[in-house]
Amino acid sequence: MSDAVKIVVDDKLVLGEPFTKAASEFKARSPGKSALVLGSTGEVGREVVKHLMASDAFDKVTVLARRPIEYTGPNAEKLKQKPADFENTEQLERDFAGHTHAFSCLGTTRAKNGKDAFYKVDHDYALNAAKAAKTAGVEHYSNCSSNGADKNSMFLYMKTKGEVDSEIQDMGFPRVSIFHPSMLLCDRKEARLIERAASYVMPLLDYVMPGKMSIPTSTVAWAMVNNTFKKVDTPVAELLTNKQMLDEFKKSQ
Helix (H) or strand (E) holding 72: strand 69-72
125 is annotated as an active-site residue: no
**How far is 133 from 138, CA to CA, in rounded Å?**
5
How many CB atoms within 10 Å of residue 230? Answer: 13
243 is annotated as an active-site residue: no
Residue of 71, 119, 125, 157 marked active site: 157
Q: Which residues are catalytic, by number?
A: 157, 161
